[in-house]
Amino acid sequence: MTALNHVPAATSPAELADLLRTDGYVIVDNLVPDSLMDAIDDELGPYLDATPMGYNAMIGRKTRRTGALVARSAACRRLIQNPSILGVCGDFLGHASAFQLMLTQVISIEPGESDQALHRDQNAFDFYPFPDDYHVQCNTLWAMTDYTAEMGATRVVPGSQVGDKKPTDYADDECLQAEMSRGSVLIYSGKIVHSGAANRSEKIRRAINVNYCVGWVRQEENQFLSVPTEVARTLDDDLLKLIGYQEGAWAMGYFRDFEDPLRAIRGDAVGYGFDATNLNGNAGAAFAEQLTHSE
């Protein structure tokens, strides 16, 4: 293999989820228009300029990571709720009762940055050894700028989503770079080995990193702190659930007196009890069935 696999924007979420299961990644070309990226760039411009450089090699000493995208950009909310991506998450993470937003950030790799260390994103969960067939994350990197090898396009190690090799066991020549056009997206599992690449150009490489995870794990970006309550009240219910105002599984994350978490924002406009039928996937169906027939 000399290049990573690309598919057209019309590819169905079910097909994309199947490619994630077999290959650990897929690149979808031109999934959103330049106009959406322009709007995001305009809304986030002041925050991008104000974000400090990273302070260690892993997050990058010449890399800026700008978070809190739900609160800072209405256009980013459209990206986060992209129907194709949410469809992939519902399928790929459908073994869990619910899925949620893991993190949001713009990763700006500046000229002169070196290769980031190869890693698996799911190691964020304290290096817990998830089984090979249990996927805890569905991650995305959107090309906010052109995404070329010279600019630092993400490095991916094909095949590294299976087996017991550590990220440090892979050599640089096993990496392929996810070159793609603006508005395209790299979707990848938490198991595949990857990293940011060295920026050998004079341009800034920007990616919008939006990651999703099963509902019962802790989010990497604390959405309840990143999204102030006054902003949360302006969001639609589906986005509120995605950022964490839902139960991630039975009794995981309930509000106050065993109430639906949405009541923290909507008050009495939302029913008191938790509706288990809203849970996602096979696990959710099993819980709903169990609750229906319990005393």
Say how far apart CA 204 and CA 111 lie, in whole Å.
Answer: 6
pLDDT in the model for residue 270: 85
Q: How far apart are CA 194 and CA 210, in angstroms?
A: 15
Q: What is the pLDDT of residue 246?
A: 94
Torsion of CA 157, 160, 165, 169, to 10 degrees: 0
pTM above 0.85, yes or no: yes
pLDDT per residue, tens digit, the chain (295 aa), is: 678 999 999 999 999 999 999 999 999 999 999 999 999 999 999 999 999 999 999 999 999 999 999 999 999 999 999 999 999 999 999 999 999 999 999 999 999 999 999 999 999 999 999 999 999 999 999 999 999 999 999 999 999 999 999 999 999 999 999 999 999 999 999 999 999 999 999 999 999 999 999 999 999 999 999 999 999 999 999 999 999 999 998 889 999 998 999 999 999 888 877 666 666 655 555 555 555 555 5
pLDDT score recorded for residue 43: 98
* Residue 57 CB neighbour total at 10 angstroms: 12
* Euclidean distance between CA atoms 239 and 81, whole angstroms: 7
Under DSSP, is residue 13 helix (H, G, I), strand (E, B) or coil?
helix
For residue 224, the one-letter residue type is: F
Tokens of 144: 């906010």
Q: What is the pLDDT of residue 289?
A: 59
Phi, psi of 244, rounded to the nearest 5 degrees: 130, -5
C-alpha closest to that of 67 among 220, 238, 241, 181 = 220
